[in-house]
């Protein structure tokens, strides 16, 4: 009796499909992608030791995704021009609500900012009235202006921002679980329950990894099928250009968080500064023995800084 081999589902787009828009974006932004990966790996490792920095990063990405999703909703619900109607047709072929991030990030903020804003209304008022940092505000403005001027550029954000979270979400959840000290503590929540409540940014399905992977491939397939023939070559080139700019904007807004915190810490002698120094010292103990000389130098420098700020504050 002759048996038939099971059919293997073809991946769309194939990694070798040079005509696929997603592959073209990845190819042309490879250097920018590698650069921000290296940069983010250092910054995230740093932020996970300092909860006040980490939650600022989460708030930053709330503003970014909220701006993107405002434009997505506008195009899906109320397109006005032929170009916007075209994007409505494209988006309807692959966009799924499971991808929406802003409401999930808000749930993370409810946990991370609960000591200061214990109710949802108080948090909503803080987020609404919170003035984004200058570079972040520029990025938010750029999102609105680029999509309103050239509706096709929404597809750059759909590819770069959302699939980046898919790629890094599992790693981030694992890292955050090992650093639960960065979350506010609640007597009625175990560390694991707290992490589950505070990592919605990186979660795309409540049904686990397999469901997330299926959702990812569904999204990528729909994106490819919707963009291959619906767009002109000039639109595709513009989407690729904006994709590269998105990587640059992300690098700048993350760098801004570090710059602003450095300025605050170095100009104010406070408990936060002492906590920051203590956390950095604990981390330094994990370094190899070959780094002892560097640690001694850093320790002396930190002692000098402490004395300097004490004198500056009280003399």
Write the burial class of residue 282 (CB in 10 Å: 0-12 exposed, 13-18 middle, 19+ buried): exposed
C-alpha span between 114 and 185 (Å, rounded): 10
Q: Are 217 and 8 in contact (CB under 8 A)?
A: no
Taking a C-beta distance cutoff of 8 angstroms, is the pair 152, 239 a contact?
yes
User: Residue positions in the annotated binding site for heme b?
Assistant: 33
SS3 at position 265: helix
Q: How many helices (H) and strands (E) does the chain have?
A: 13, 0
Extract the annotated binding site: 33
Neighbours of 118 (CB within 10 A): 11
* Contact in structure between 277 and 306 (CB atoms under 8 Å): yes
Work out the angle at residue 158's Cα, subtended by the Cα atoms of residues 99 and 256, and round it to the nearest 5 degrees: 95
């Amino acid at each position: 009796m002759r048996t038939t081999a099971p059919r293997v589902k073809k991946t769309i787009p194939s990694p070798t499909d040079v005509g696929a828009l997603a592959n073209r974006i990845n190819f042309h932004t490879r250097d920018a992608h590698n650069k921000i990966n290296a940069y983010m790996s250092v910054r995230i490792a740093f932020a996970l030791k300092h909860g006040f920095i980490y939650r600022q990063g989460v708030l930053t990405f709330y503003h970014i995704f909220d701006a993107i999703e405002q434009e997505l909703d506008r195009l899906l619900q109320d397109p006005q021009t032929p170009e916007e109607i075209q994007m409505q047709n494209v988006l309807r072929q692959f966009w799924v609500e499971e991808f929406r991030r802003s409401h999930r990030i808000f749930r993370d903020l409810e946990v991370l900012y609960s000591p200061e804003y214990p109710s949802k209304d108080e948090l909503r008022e803080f987020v609404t009235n919170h003035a984004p940092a200058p570079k972040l505000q520029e990025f938010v403005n750029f999102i609105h202006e680029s999509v309103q001027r050239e509706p096709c550029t929404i597809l750059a954000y759909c590819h770069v921002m959302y699939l980046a979270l898919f790629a890094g979400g599992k790693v981030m959840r694992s890292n955050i679980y090992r650093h639960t000290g960065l979350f506010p503590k609640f007597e009625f929540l175990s560390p694991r329950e707290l992490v589950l409540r505070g990592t919605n940014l990186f979660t795309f399905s409540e049904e686990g990894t397999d469901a997330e992977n299926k959702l990812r491939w569904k999204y990528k397939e729909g994106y490819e099928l919707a963009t291959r023939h619906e767009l002109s070559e000039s639109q595709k080139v513009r989407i690729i250009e904006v994709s590269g700019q998105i990587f640059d904007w992300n690098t700048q807004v993350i760098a801004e968080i570090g710059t602003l915190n450095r300025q605050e810490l170095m100009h104010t002698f406070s408990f936060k500064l002492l906590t920051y120094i203590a956390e950095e010292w604990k981390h330094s103990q994990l370094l190899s023995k070959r780094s002892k000389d560097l640690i001694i130098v850093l320790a002396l420098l930190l002692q000098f800084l402490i004395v300097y700020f004490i004198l500056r504050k009280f003399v």
